[in-house]
């Protein structure tokens, strides 16, 4: 007799059935600690599995939060219990294919616990087939034939089944196979969440939620997440997802809505693969407003799992951003308002942002993020405010307080880098910049700020990769392209500076810094006609009167570029145009070749601790001063090496 599988002698034996609980298409095997769906093992481990097992012990009864904490969470994790329980329930519900709003299996009993509401049955006692390592008893001929035929049919049936699945897409199996075989998603854009609250006054909240979700996802390993600056340009855009994804160079997009009703917040998000416009996943999250940070964290975890990216922390632990950024609900709302105003780029909104952040601190004195954001406002004022010294002192105080509360926030490290630069403490500035990049490697702002610091020191081989990284993370941002253009300008590559500045203006035709980059790049190349054209555009943004612009341009046409600068100085002295800073006057006199006056105003800018003084070694317009001993004295006082 020919034996089947001669190396694997086995026999079929009757053994008692395991302790298996069945509900719907699922079964929980307590002996092996496995959850199976239609006989196929489903990945569910740790706390989510333990929660399910406990609920199945008492179907139809309320299992309280205290019971869950005592049975599932060790005593030493009490502080994290609420967050851990919510995360476990979110993952469990996702595995079972249900939502808290429309439960088929697990019902939430507000403020008490959970109840398993589906019928639960125990697998009937019977026969289970198992393999044992004892010689097999001989089979009767007809039984052997049937056994052989069944194996052959099984092998053929497997091949036939694959063909059927691929041909007819039974129960979405072809879709499953397609997704499994597709290339991994390595880049992602979170499009602005749509505000469904019916109140335009809640727009700040929808924008803030988008921003925070981007921040959470940007911490995930091996995933390039497009920054807020770029995606906000697509708010209410009529472009197709494929067009948007192409412009951002991403594999997938997340889009969704946010709705706030009273003290409840609901986020609906879906993940869409761009290559075939396939909706890979969708989910809704709803929580009380006080738990909104945790809600964002769970959404980030779910999206990360769907794109196949490993998260630094396990799913039962909230992302560092959610844990470290916790604050009282009323303070968080004030903080979001402040963020909304601080990002408009309007000087008049800086005071509104400052007031909102100050209110957040009053509402929650432990809110590290609010201190960090307030420090940012004061750093902004060191460039544009009335008292630089006072603004710098306030920025330092609030950034230090933020770091006392949470040393792992990147924002206050960037603020401290800016303060160190004003103090001419370059080693400390670099330390703070590097720490910010380390904490938020997915932040274009961190890379861009570090790149500008390196460029100011003439370290262009290191600076340019940082600005390129910022461009990858923030590809549709006028600020990032203009800053990249400024780096090329400092490096003396004026053609690339012009190219990047024009890209910035394609995104935002009214972006002032990009026009200024073009103006100065054309001046360095001796393209004076083009420079004067850009001057006209800049002068409008600088609030020059039409009469003043006409006088300055007329001076150029009559007597050339020297007359252009002299007319500007004249109108500034007469109060006909907005007053220049001392640093501006230093650069103008340097253009004119009047080195003594240029150094006079450079000294005044040094006394004021003008932040732009950090660029004196590399600014092309100050190159004529490098041979002056007085210039080197100023540089030494600033702890700068010779250019």
| pTM over cut 0.75 | no
* CA–CA distance, 110 with 260 (Å, rounded to integer): 19
Q: Which residues pair with 551 in a beta bridge?
A: none
pLDDT tens-digit map of 205-231: 778 778 877 877 777 667 888 888 888
Of 80, 68, 78, 81, nearest in space to 115 by CA: 68
The model's confidence at residue 75, banded by pLDDT at 50, 70 and 90, is: low
* CA–CA distance, 380 with 72 (Å, rounded to integer): 49
Tokens encoding 420: 């160190």
Any residues with CB less than 8 A from the CB of 571 and at least 6 apart, and which?
A: 548, 551, 552, 577
Of 393, 399, 447, 450, nearest in space to 609 by CA: 393
Q: Region 87-102: what's the mean pLDDT?
A: 79
Residue 607 has pLDDT above 50, yes or no: yes
The torsion angles phi and psi of 283, rounded to 5 degrees, stand at: -160, 155
Residue 423 is given by DSSP the state T
Contact 261, 197 (CB under 8 A): yes
Distances (CA, A) of 634 to 337, 596, 625: 42, 13, 11
Strands 194-195 and 252-261 turn out to be: parallel
Tokens encoding 572: 């500034």
pLDDT tens-digit map of 401-434: 999 999 988 999 999 999 999 889 999 999 999 9
pLDDT tens-digit map of 371-396: 999 998 888 888 766 577 888 899 99
Any residues with CB less than 8 A from the CB of 574 and at least 6 apart, and which?
A: none
pLDDT at 385: 61
Per-residue exposure over 569-581, b if at least 16 CB sit within 10 Å of its own CB, e if not: bebbeeebbeebe
pLDDT tens-digit map of 239-293: 888 888 889 988 888 888 888 777 788 888 888 888 877 777 777 878 787 777 6
The torsion angles phi and psi of 579, rounded to 5 degrees, stand at: -65, 145
Of 473, 417, 413, nearest in space to 447 by CA: 473
CATH superfamily of the domain spanning 187-306: ABC-type transport auxiliary lipoprotein component (3.40.50.10610)
Residues carrying CATH 1.10.10.10, the chain: 20-122
Burial class (CB in 10 A: 0-12, 13-18, 19+), 323: middle
Of 321, 360, 368, nearest in space to 337 by CA: 360
* 3-state SS assignment for residue 272: strand
pLDDT tens-digit map of 323-349: 445 678 788 889 988 988 887 767 778
The torsion angles phi and psi of 370, rounded to 5 degrees, stand at: -65, -40
pLDDT at 455: 95
pLDDT at 182: 53
Strands 252-261 and 187-190 turn out to be: parallel
Specify whether domain 20-122 bears CATH 1.10.220.110: no
Q: Which residues pair with 556 in a beta bridge?
A: none
Residues carrying CATH 3.40.50.10610, the chain: 187-306
């Amino acid at each position: 007799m020919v034996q089947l599988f001669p190396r694997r002698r086995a026999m079929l034996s009757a053994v008692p059935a395991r302790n298996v609980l069945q509900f719907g298409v699922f079964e929980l095997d307590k002996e092996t600690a496995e959850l199976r769906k239609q006989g196929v093992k489903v990945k569910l481990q740790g706390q989510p599995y333990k929660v399910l097992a406990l609920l199945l012990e008492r179907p139809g009864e309320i299992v309280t939060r205290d019971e869950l904490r005592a049975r599932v969470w060790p005593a030493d994790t009490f502080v994290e219990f609420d967050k851990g329980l919510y995360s476990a329930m979110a993952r469990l519900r996702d595995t079972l294919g249900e939502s808290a709003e429309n439960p088929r299996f697990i019902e939430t009993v507000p403020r008490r616990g959970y109840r398993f509401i589906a019928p639960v049955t125990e697998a009937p006692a019977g026969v289970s087939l198992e393999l044992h390592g004892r010689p097999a008893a001989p089979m009767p001929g007809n039984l052997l034939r049937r056994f052989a035929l069944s194996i052959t049919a099984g092998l053929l049936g497997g091949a036939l089944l694959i063909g059927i699945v691929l041909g007819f897409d039974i129960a979405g199996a072809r879709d499953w196979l397609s997704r499994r075989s597709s290339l991994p998603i390595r880049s992602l854009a979170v499009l602005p969440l749509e505000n469904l609250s019916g109140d335009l006054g809640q727009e700040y909240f929808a924008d803030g939620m988008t921003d925070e979700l981007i921040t959470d996802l940007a911490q995930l390993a091996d995933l390039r997440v497009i920054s807020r600056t770029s995606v906000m340009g697509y708010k209410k855009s009529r472009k197709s997802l494929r067009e948007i994804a192409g412009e951002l160079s991403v594999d997938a997009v997340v889009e969704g809505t946010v709705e706030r009703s009273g003290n409840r917040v609901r986020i609906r998000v879906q993940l869409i693969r761009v290559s075939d416009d396939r909706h890979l996943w969708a989910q809704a999250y709803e929580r009380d407003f006080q738990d909104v940070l945790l809600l964002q964290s769970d959404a980030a975890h779910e999206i990360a799992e769907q794109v196949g990216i490993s998260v630094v922390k396990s799913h039962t632990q909230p992302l560092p951003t959610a844990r470290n950024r916790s604050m009282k609900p009323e303070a968080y709302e004030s903080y979001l308002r402040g963020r909304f105003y601080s990002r408009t780029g309007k000087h008049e909104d800086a005071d509104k942002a400052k007031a909102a952040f100050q209110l957040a601190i009053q509402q929650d004195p432990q809110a590290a993020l609010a201190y960090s954001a307030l420090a940012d406002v004061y750093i902004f004022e060191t460039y544009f405010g009335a008292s630089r010294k006072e603004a710098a002192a306030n920025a330092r105080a609030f950034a230090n307080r933020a770091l006392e509360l949470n040393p792992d926030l990147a924002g206050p490290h960037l603020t401290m880098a800016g303060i160190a630069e004003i103090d001419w403490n370059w080693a400390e500035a670099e330390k703070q910049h590097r720490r910010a990049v380390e904490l938020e490697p997915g932040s274009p702002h961190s890379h861009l700020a570090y790149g500008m610091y390196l460029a100011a020191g003439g370290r262009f081989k290191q600076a340019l990769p940082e600005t390129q990284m910022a461009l990858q993370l923030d590809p549709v941002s006028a600020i990032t392209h203009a800053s990249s253009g400024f780096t090329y300008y400092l490096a003396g590559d004026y053609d690339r500076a012009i190219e990047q500045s024009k890209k910035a203006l394609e995104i935002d035709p009214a972006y002032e810094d990009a026009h200024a980059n073009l103006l100065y790049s054309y001046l360095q190349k001796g393209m004076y006609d083009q420079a004067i054209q850009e001057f006209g555009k800049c002068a409008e943004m600088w609030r020059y009167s039409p009469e003043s612009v006409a006088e300055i341009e007329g001076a150029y046409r009559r007597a050339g570029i020297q007359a252009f600068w002299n007319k500007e100085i004249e109108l500034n002295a007469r109060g006909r145009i907005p007053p220049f800073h001392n640093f501006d006057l230093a650069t103008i006199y340097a253009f004119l070749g009047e080195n003594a006056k240029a150094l006079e105003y450079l000294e005044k800018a040094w006394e004021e601790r003008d932040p732009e003084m950090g660029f004196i070694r590399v600014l092309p317009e100050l190159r004529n001063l490098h041979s002056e001993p007085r210039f080197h004295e100023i540089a030494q006082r600033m702890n700068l090496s010779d250019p």
